[in-house]
Amino acid sequence: MGNHLPTTDFLSFDDVQDRLVEAMLTCWRYPDRERGWQTLRCAWPEISRDVLAGDYDADGRDVISTDGAFRAASQTREDIAEMEEAFGWLDSVAPDDRKLIGLAIRELASGKREVPWRSLMPKLGVRMGVTGVQMRYSRTITAICNAVNRTNPSTDVSRR
């Protein structure tokens, strides 16, 4: 992290999505992930860890690492601040949409190039409508973009 657009630039759909992916990766690298999640202002912990999918073993250890050893990367205050800012964007999102965003971002953060929408549907309690789930995701990320850019003074035409 740390090499993002300055806060004075307009954030696009891809910028917001990338920042959320980076926030998820930072959260996963946090030395004490449980404590890190407790500091967040949204319901991200319930989204970013899927106990039923085997994301957490019986001893309480993470099983994200392929060799079984969890290695925390050093993080700066800027990394943590950017993570908290990105997670804070979800405060204004409806809980159902927040869950959708979290599940999709988790898939992207785990290295997938595309979100497997059909496999997310049961976790969302949806049986039909892959296109509808994709559209809901797009509308929610776009709403976050609009909210973030509305609070950004450099995007105000009257100030130019």
Does any domain span residue 4?
Answer: no
Does any domain span residue 47?
Answer: yes
Does any domain span residue 156?
Answer: no
> What is the value of pTM for the model shown?
0.69
Given a cut of 70, whether residue 23 has pLDDT beyond it is yes
Q: How far apart are CA 105 and CA 111, in angstroms?
A: 10
Domain extent at residue 30: 13-151
* Residues β-bridged to residue 56: 62
pLDDT at 94: 92
Does any domain span residue 119?
Answer: yes
Does any domain span residue 1?
Answer: no
Residues in Cβ contact with 91 at an 8 Å cutoff, skipping those fewer than 6 apart: 41, 42
DSSP letter for 90, please: G
Which residue matches tokens 């497997």? Answer: 116
HSE, CB side, 13 Å, CA atoms: give it for residue 84: 13
Number of domains observed in the structure of the chain = 1
**How does pLDDT run across 41-69, given as a tens digit for each residue?**
444 544 555 544 555 444 444 444 445 55
